Amino acid sequence: MAIKAAIMGYGNLGRGVEKAISRAEDMELVGVFTRRDPAGVKVDSGAKAYHVDALEGMKDDIDILIICGGSATDLPEMTPKYAALFNVIDSFDTHANIPVHFANVDEAAKKAGKIGIISCGWDPGMFSLNRLYAHSVLPGGKDYTFWGKGVSQGHSDAIRRIEGVADARQYTVPVPEALDSVRRGDNPELTTRQKHTRLCYVVAKEGADKDKITEEIVNMPNYFADYDTTVNFITAEEMARDHSGLPHGGSVIYSGSTGDGTNKHVIEYSLKLDSNPEFTGSVLVAYARAAVRMNKAGDCGAKTVFDIAPAMLSPLSGEEIRAHML
Amino acid sequence: MAIKAAIMGYGNLGRGVEKAISRAEDMELVGVFTRRDPAGVKVDSGAKAYHVDALEGMKDDIDILIICGGSATDLPEMTPKYAALFNVIDSFDTHANIPVHFANVDEAAKKAGKIGIISCGWDPGMFSLNRLYAHSVLPGGKDYTFWGKGVSQGHSDAIRRIEGVADARQYTVPVPEALDSVRRGDNPELTTRQKHTRLCYVVAKEGADKDKITEEIVNMPNYFADYDTTVNFITAEEMARDHSGLPHGGSVIYSGSTGDGTNKHVIEYSLKLDSNPEFTGSVLVAYARAAVRMNKAGDCGAKTVFDIAPAMLSPLSGEEIRAHML
């Protein structure tokens, strides 16, 4: 019987999850839940849109609720709330608050006998897995994470809030020399500025002061001040033509040694993604499958990618994965 | 209390495991077990060498037996045999025989209430994990495995058996154009010859017919006939100076798509290893920890890397790994 999945929140990530469910032969989409008026929400696959208030009455119709909200305010509230009713999964990525979020979801999920997977996607998610595997296999080494080249939606939004900016896209770009040094196993100490640069494409409103916009961007604390930032002004047409996608990616590189330290080893995991939300959605769907299976096997509580055996992600049997992938 | 580990078989891999145990703060080496006369076995770390017959009397002194034997004849017999007495782990890599080996270990381990992990290392092992994660996240894509540049001990041994050969080292080398094409996401169909070349360094015995040796190498069925093979004759001094290490590595590259297929994604996991046996030994030791923990938690039977949650590999607590690696 197919796994009945539902999506809470229908933005870029919700749409990515929807596409991933359409590729999962063992899963069907029950519907999309939204805080907006569902009559105004057009679901790409034709699945039904419901108001979020309908969720409580659908306890028996949903095996897993995939929560596609923001980490700042949505997920801290939503994930524990719905873990009391459903198996749930989210992509919570505010690192400092993971312990509290984990504890809240754990309490609600255990009380309800459900599984709640948090912080799932590619970082946190697939990148985290690779940090853990590498540290476990080669203790005492050092991990480096590089992001990009890819669009940071948070940084793009920050630029859009500047006066005189009509549209903006910000790419995070790893510094090639830093990447090379880490890949060689040099184990360098790298500052923020030495690891990534920031490349911005901005459409200015008519008559806007471009120098002032540039100054505001490159000096913006937290977002840009600690980086070498390049600002390019382009037209709205160029923005639409060249920057409409949401590509991303990056690398986790781990460098460690064995024995007395003379033998060095470099482990690298890297992603090149045409669509960040579609790939993140695909990771969520694979782990949604795991959540349902683990719960059926009697497990409950909060989980992360660390707690989940890889075989749980695959629709194939143990025999099949041993035959084809071992 | 430290995990009490023992090593069965003391060749290159056994020594790699020994070094990895010395790096594991939560593990101690009980001893090395050998089919040879233990009096003639000098253990690098100073641990005791025992004859293999002593194992049966040490049921309560060993938490995990790490079996470092060959896949052809040793492991099919040893791993099920010792799974009846201990938690065990091996690096069985004869792919076609994995189902039988898994079944034999599973039966013995379940009867004894022990865990038996098979086919653990980097391929099978870490590479297998990456094939499974990628297929699960992006169903319908294609995985490619490239090995090298690295020393193949099996191929080196095959050359050494040729008349007139004093010593030999064979490197497996991925073809750069094939790697590039796969990394671009071209999804090429590649023959054996198009994926890897074979590079051989041979020390000929005095008076040996070098042309005849070269002919025998490049035409050797299974080992070389399907590859472009280069043979270089060198001196014993050059062999000792330039080819004494056992480096290896390689890449698992997966290329898949989301949605209607327009958005492509490439996932790559790669290893650059100064010492193949020391890295393999390190993987075995991390999974040895997992075997003991899973058994303590009440689990038993045959397992592969697919069945083991990543958190099981780390000596750190769940809180610690979530704080530092998620």
pLDDT digits (tens, 9 = 90+) for A2-54: 999 999 999 999 999 999 999 999 999 999 999 999 999 999 999 999 999 99
pLDDT tens digits, B126-162? 999 999 999 999 999 999 999 999 999 999 999 999 9
Name every chain B residue with its beta carbon within 8 A of the beta carbon of A99: 319, 322-323
CA distance B312 to B296: 12
Task: Give chain B's mean pLDDT.
Answer: 97
Phi, psi of A272, rounded to the nearest 5 degrees: -125, 110
Looking at residue A316, its pLDDT comes to: 97
- Asked whether the beta carbons of A313 and B133 are under 8 A apart, the reply is yes
B49 pLDDT above the threshold of 90: yes
- Nearest Cβ partner of B273 from A124, A262, A265? A265
Which candidate from A119, A269, A272 shows the least CB-CB separation from B265?
A272
Residues 6+ apart with CB under 8 A from B248: B147, B148, B150, B151, B271, B273, B276, B279
Rounded to whole angstroms, the Cα distance separating A148 from A247 reads 8
**A64-67 and A3-8 beta bridge pairing:** parallel
* List of chain B residues whose C-beta atoms are within 8 Å of the C-beta of residue A310: 129, 132-133, 136, 305-308
Window 17-76 of B, Cβ < 8 Å to A: 19-20, 22-25
Residues of A in contact with B308 (CB under 8 A): 309-310
CA–CA separation, A267 and B129 (whole Å): 14
CB B185 within 8 Å of CB B217: no
Q: Which of residues 161-220 of A touch B (CB under 8 A)?
A: 185
- Please give, rounded to a whole number of angstroms, the shortest distance from the CA of A3 to a CA of chain B: 15
Dihedral in degrees, nearest 10, Cα atoms B229, B231, B237, B238: -60
For the residues B67-94, what does the mean pLDDT come to? 96
A326 and B271 within 8 Å at the Cβ level: the answer is: no
B244 CB near a chain A CB, below 8 Å? no
Report the pLDDT value the prediction gives residue B208, as an integer from 0 to 100. 97
pTM exceeding the 0.90 threshold for the entire prediction? yes
pLDDT tens per residue, range B283-314: 999 999 999 999 999 999 999 999 999 999 99
Query: Which chain A residues are within 8 Å of B94, Cβ to Cβ?
Result: none
pLDDT score at A143: 97
- The nearest alpha carbon in chain B to A268 belongs to B270
Mean pLDDT, residues B248-275 = 97
pLDDT at B183 over 90: yes
Mean pLDDT, 10 residues at a time, chain A of 326 residues: 96 97 97 96 95 95 97 95 98 95 98 98 98 98 97 94 97 97 94 97 97 97 95 98 97 96 96 98 98 98 98 97 96
Q: Closest to A304 (Cβ–Cβ): which among B265, B281, B326?
A: B326
CB-based contact (8 Å) between A244 and chain B?
Answer: no
Q: Is A297 on the interface with B (CB under 8 A)?
A: no
A 152-171 residues inside an 8 A Cβ radius of B: none
Reduce the DSSP state of residue A197 to 3 states and report it: strand
Predicted local distance difference test score (pLDDT) of residue B1: 84
pLDDT of amino acid A1: 84
The confidence band for B325, taking pLDDT boundaries of 50, 70 and 90, is: very high
Looking at beta carbons, which residues of chain A come within 8 Å of B182? none
DSSP state of B189: -
| B 106-145 residues inside an 8 A Cβ radius of A | 119, 124, 126, 128-133, 135-140, 143
In total, chain B counts a number of residues equal to 326
Helix A276-296 to helix A12-23 angle (10° resolution) is 60
CB atoms within 10 A of CB B75: 26
Report yes or no: B160 and B208 within 8 Å, Cβ to Cβ: no
Q: Is A322 on the interface with B (CB under 8 A)?
A: yes
